[in-house]
Structure 1
């Protein structure tokens, strides 16, 4: 699969965009998550989450058929009740926050 060259991507459940300087500032205090791969792993997003990709690269294959390429400087928001399989291509570091439907950036 080829990388999605336009960093802006959106479905009714998943949104990816390039992170602005303001987004990077706001996410700096969020929880850090790291994965080195190479084994794919599944996650169930049971509540809304947003994350900033501080470094690395991965693919997420979602249960709705969406395949999302993520890389450094992407900002991603995922709505609840969707599953995904992460495939880490390069060791990845994310700053993330779970939030209710009324919060976030």
Structure 2
């Protein structure tokens, strides 16, 4: 997967942008999640969630037909009630938080 300089991506359900230094600092205490793959897995986002990709690469194919590649330094927000199929391309580490449990980034 090629590193893309313009990481901005937005639909009505999913947003991806390049993390700022401030975002990296704010997400440092969030819950850590790691996956090594390679078996794809499905997830149902029942609550809004945001995550910072600290390392690795993956692709999420959402039930609405959109596809999202993620790589280090991406900050992603996903709205509730959408399903997605994760495919881990390189072992990945994310720092995540459900938005209804925090004051905001």
Correspondences of 1:1-105 after superposition (within 5 Å) = 5=4, 6-100=6-100, 103-105=103-105
Unaligned runs of 5+ in 1: none
SS of residue paired to 2:104 = coil
Q: Distance in 2 between matches of 1:49 and 1:103?
A: 13
Unaligned runs of 5+ in 2: none
Count the aligned residue pairs. Answer: 104
SS of residue paired to 2:22 = helix
Is the alpha carbon distance of 1:62 and 1:82 closer, same or farther for their aligned partners in structure 2, counting shifts above 3 Å? same
CA RMSD of aligned residues (A): 1.8
Q: Distance in 1 between matches of 2:59 and 2:90?
A: 10
CA deviation after TM superposition for structure 1 residue 100, in Å: 2.1
Q: TM-score under structure 1 normalisation? A: 0.93
Does structure 2 conserve the Cα–Cα contact (< 8 Å) formed by 1:3 and 1:69?
no
Does structure 2 conserve the Cα–Cα contact (< 8 Å) formed by 1:43 and 1:83?
yes
Q: TM-score under structure 2 normalisation? A: 0.93
Q: Distance in 1 between matches of 2:79 and 2:101?
A: 9
Is the alpha carbon distance of 1:101 and 1:13 closer, same or farther for their aligned partners in structure 2, counting shifts above 3 Å? farther
